[in-house]
């Protein structure tokens, strides 16, 4: 990508914002190396990364970044077998723990952020390194006494020697013979040896070794001869401790060096993730969105804002190039925003191809440009004796030699700084050449000849920046479709030009041949502005209507959901009541049997019992009310479309359409249904179905298909074994297909013959994992629970 354009358009300033947002040294380095790409696949991948991080920052309470140290220098030391110091080991220990947290965090959210999880999958498992370093350092980053057996022994020895030496020193201080020699009766340390402050005048009277003097020279710090050996032993133990710690660090260094590649790759993977989240943070700070990579080679930036202008002051503009025209010619007053509009397009194109979100509205799109060339600003080169015109011409010649059909070219004040007639002629020739090459071009000019050329030439469109004639100030709004006036008189008047000079200038201008054209342009632009304002007002009303519609839809869904919850709750209560009623009925029947053994004949008694059972079986439950669904227009139905099958109560995919019937694939089963039997699915159902399919792909177990309401219990009381077995077989098939387990078979207690027949049948079924009698509260011996 053209470095000159990157500098002129302000790409490096945006990049510096990204660097400031990157939390670690490595992520900042990655941000500094960021450059626009011309490969569409690379750009798509970069944008996808940014989008996932953008969603993550908005959805999640926190992300596990921050506090990462750059351990690459320490890793290089370990690789070269240079013993790491304590801080190096602590930094690696801390990073390894953070790496693990990041890896686990994104592994748990793989379904939501697959690209980020894929990046995090490059982070290794450093459990062993974490464990080994944790054995050496405590939570305060101090070396543990038990970091090794030898270190524990040495530190125990040092403690004993310190106590012994302090006891010797205390004895010296308590010696009455030496009391007058001491400046203070206290013990201090010099050169890692215990010493006593002695007055200068008694230096020869007190036996010992001088280690230091006070600043005034009045006090000497003397090691008494009586404790020299004790100090020597203590010093030797401390030296041995230092050497043992070095051995421990060498072992840790060898451990880290053995996992150098994994640690280095993981460090880079974490840095890359931090960089991706820095891009997302930049998008949030700019209130930016993801543009679409245009397959139709269209520039369409809706309400684009220049990212380097204060958000309070910036004026958004819609920029469109492509389709009927590839060259956009911008005219209008000076300081009116022509150059800003051009720089906005160029900078946003660079940001887009760097994988950054753009400060534009949803629906914006940009093609991938091979390169971006710009000739903006005064590049006068005194050292080469080049005028402003010559400098611009030199840059335009370079652009003409190197540009192609996939390039974007931005030229400010094309061919200005020379004779207007000659400049216009050269500018028109340049535009023709660029059009022939197929480049995308945005140029600014004040030349009327170029305005006329754009009006009369297919593939070139006029545009202008607005100027408010009432306030005599520019509005910085870009209008595409018509040329604008330079408003030199209005601007000069606002800046204080004497009236007599302006009057004479206007008189001279009125004699020009193209004065009528200027008046027409002014009128057309005023009409265009009014139409745009009306269009914006209509769009605002439409957006408000859509918001109201969406709010009403959500409210309706809430009411429907709440109503369904109430119905489901009532249904569950009814099921419980029915079960309790059946149990109570069984109890009543048993009591009837006991009471009627003598008063009624066997035939009459059985008849009464059977009537009671039939009455119980006729108890019905209300069906759950199904939500209203929108029908599908048969004309818009197509293969591969997901639909809801009403009769099967589930989603399916259309495979074939046969007139008024449709072949639908429903989780591995192909069925043919009528078109009126299918409806539009809810988005939540489609999402749930995809999640279920993904879970099923990770498991090889069979997933049953539910084709309608299926009972979870079967009552066969009063039937014989041969009568009940076919019903049991159908009941178990339906329950197995629906995925219910366990289910209940109510056979009653009686003589136990029916229960034995049921159990004998269940023993022969391969899909029955186990069966057992229900607990006493739910039927006891009269009910069998069947598990698949």
Task: List helix spans (H) across 438-514.
Answer: 448-456, 488-495, 499-510
Per the rule left: phi > 0, alpha: psi between -120 and 50, beta: everything else, 143 is: beta
Distance CA 271, CA 273 (A): 5
d(CA 439, CA 434): 6
Is 363 assigned a ligand-binding role in the annotation?
Answer: no
CA nearest neighbour of 241 among 129, 169, 162: 162
| 289 annotated ligand binder | no
Separate counts of helices (H) and strands (E) for the chain: 22, 23
- Helix 228-258 with 86-108: angle, nearest 10 deg: 40
The answer on whether 333 is annotated among ligand-binding residues is yes
Q: What is the DSSP letter of 777?
A: G
- Known binding residue 659? Answer is no
The response to whether 471 counts as a known ligand-binding position is no
**Sheet with 669-674, side-by-side order of all strands:** 669-674, 661-666, 650-658, 642-645, 678-679
Give the whole-angstrom CA distance, residue 76 versus residue 363: 48
Cα(443)–Cα(533) distance, integer angstroms:
26
- Which tokens go with 85? 């110091």
The three-state secondary structure class of 667 is coil
Element (H, E) at 604: helix 602-617
Report CA Rg, the chain: 44
For 287-419, where are the alpha helices, taking DSSP H only? 338-352, 388-402
Distance CA 109, CA 123 (A): 15
Answer yes or no: is 111 a known binding residue. Answer: no
Under 8 Å between Cβ of 569 and 630: no
Give the DSSP H or E segment for 562. helix 515-595
For 254, how many CA atoms within 13 A lie in the half-sphere containing its CB?
A: 5
Whether residue 336 is annotated as binding a ligand: the answer is yes
- Per DSSP, the three-state class of 130 is helix
- Taking the C-alpha atoms of residue 513 and residue 745, their distance in angstroms, rounded to an integer, is 102
Cβ within 8 Å of residue 61, ≥6 positions away = none
Q: Does 332 carry a binding-site annotation?
A: yes
Give the alpha-carbon dihedral of 591, 593, 597, 600, to 10 degrees.
Answer: 110
| Binding-site residues from annotation for ATP | 332-339
| Binding-site residues from annotation | 332-339
């Amino acid at each position: 990508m053209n470095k000159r354009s990157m500098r002129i358009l302000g790409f490096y300033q945006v990049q510096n914002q990204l660097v400031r947002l990157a939390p670690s040294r490595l992520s900042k380095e990655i941000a500094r190396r960021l450059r626009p790409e011309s490969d569409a696949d690379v750009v798509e991948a970069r944008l996808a990364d940014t989008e996932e991080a953008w969603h993550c920052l908005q959805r999640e309470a926190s992300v596990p970044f921050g506090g990462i140290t750059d351990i690459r220098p320490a890793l290089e030391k370990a690789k070269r077998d240079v013993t790491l110091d304590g801080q190096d080991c602590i930094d690696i220990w801390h990073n390894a723990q953070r790496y693990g947290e990041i890896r686990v965090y994104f592994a748990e959210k793989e379904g939501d952020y697959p690209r980020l999880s894929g990046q995090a999958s490059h982070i290794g498992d450093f459990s062993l390194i974490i464990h080994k370093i944790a054995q050496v350092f405590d939570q305060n980053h101090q070396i543990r006494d038990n970091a090794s057996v030898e270190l524990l022994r040495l530190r125990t020895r040092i403690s004993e020697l310190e106590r012994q030496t302090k006891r010797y020193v205390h004895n010296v201080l308590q010696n009455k013979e030496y009391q007058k020699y001491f400046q203070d009766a206290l013990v201090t340390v010099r050169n890692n040896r215990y010493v006593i402050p002695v007055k200068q005048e008694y230096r020869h009277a007190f036996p010992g070794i001088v280690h230091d003097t006070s600043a005034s020279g009045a006090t000497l710090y003397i090691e008494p001869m009586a404790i020299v050996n004790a100090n020597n032993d203590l010093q030797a133990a401390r030296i041995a401790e230092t050497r043992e710690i070095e051995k421990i660090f060498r072992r840790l260094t060898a451990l880290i060096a053995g996992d150098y590649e994994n640690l280095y790759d993981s460090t880079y993977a974490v840095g890359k993730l931090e960089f991706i989240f820095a891009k997302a943070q930049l998008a949030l700070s700019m209130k930016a969105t993801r543009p679409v990579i245009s397959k139709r080679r269209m520039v369409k930036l809706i309400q684009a804002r220049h990212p380097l202008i204060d958000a309070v002051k910036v004026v958004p503009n819609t920029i469109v190039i492509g389709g009927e025209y590839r060259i956009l010619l911008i005219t209008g007053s000076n300081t009116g925003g022509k150059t800003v509009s051009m720089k906005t397009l160029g900078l946003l194109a660079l940001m887009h191809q760097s994988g950054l979100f753009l400060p534009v509205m949803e629906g914006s799109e940009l093609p991938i440009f091979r390169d971006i060339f710009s000739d903006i600003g005064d590049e006068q080169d005194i050292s080469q004796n080049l005028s402003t015109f010559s400098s611009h011409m030199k840059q335009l010649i370079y652009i003409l030699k190197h540009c192609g059909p996939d390039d974007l070219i931005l030229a400010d004040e094309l061919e200005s700084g020379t004779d207007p007639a000659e400049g216009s002629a050269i500018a028109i020739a340049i535009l023709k050449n660029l059009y022939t090459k197929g480049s995308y071009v945005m140029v600014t000019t004040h030349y009327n000849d170029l305005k006329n050329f754009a009006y009369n030439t297919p593939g070139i469109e006029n545009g202008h920046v607005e100027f408010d004639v009432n306030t005599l100030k520019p509005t910085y709004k870009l209008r595409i479709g018509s040329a604008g006036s330079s408003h030199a008189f209005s601007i000069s008047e606002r800046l204080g030009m004497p009236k007599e000079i302006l009057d004479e200038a206007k008189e001279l201008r009125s004699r020009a041949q193209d004065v009528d054209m200027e008046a027409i342009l002014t009128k057309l632009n005023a009409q265009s502005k009014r139409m745009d304002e009306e269009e914006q007002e209509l769009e605002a009303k439409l957006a408000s209507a859509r918001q109201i519609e969406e709010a009403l839809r959500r409210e309706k869904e809430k009411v429907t959901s709440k109503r369904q919850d109430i119905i489901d709750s009532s249904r569950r209560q009814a099921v419980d009541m029915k079960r309790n009623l059946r149990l109570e009925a069984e109890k009543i029947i048993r009591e009837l049997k006991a009471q009627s053994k003598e008063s009624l004949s066997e035939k009459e008694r059985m008849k009464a019992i059977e009537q009671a059972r039939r009455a119980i079986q006729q108890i019905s439950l209300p069906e759950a009310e199904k939500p209203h669904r929108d029908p599908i227009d048969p004309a818009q139905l197509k293969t591969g479309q997901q639909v809801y099958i009403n009769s099967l109560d589930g989603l399916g995919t259309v495979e074939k359409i046969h007139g008024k019937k449709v072949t639908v694939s429903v989780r591995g089963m192909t069925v043919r249904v009528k078109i009126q039997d299918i409806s539009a699915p809810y988005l939540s159902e489609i999402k749930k179905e995809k999640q279920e399919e993904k879970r099923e792909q990770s498991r090889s177990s069979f997933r049953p298909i539910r084709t309608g309401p299926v009972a979870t219990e079967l009552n066969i009381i009063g039937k014989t074994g041969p009568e009940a077995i076919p019903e049991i077989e159908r009941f178990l098939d339906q329950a197995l297909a629906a995925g219910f387990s366990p289910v209940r078979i109510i056979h009653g207690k009686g003589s136990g013959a029916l229960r034995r027949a049921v159990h004998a049948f269940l023993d022969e079924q391969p899909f029955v994992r186990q069966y057992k009698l229900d607990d006493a509260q739910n039927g006891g011996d009269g009910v069998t629970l069947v598990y698949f």
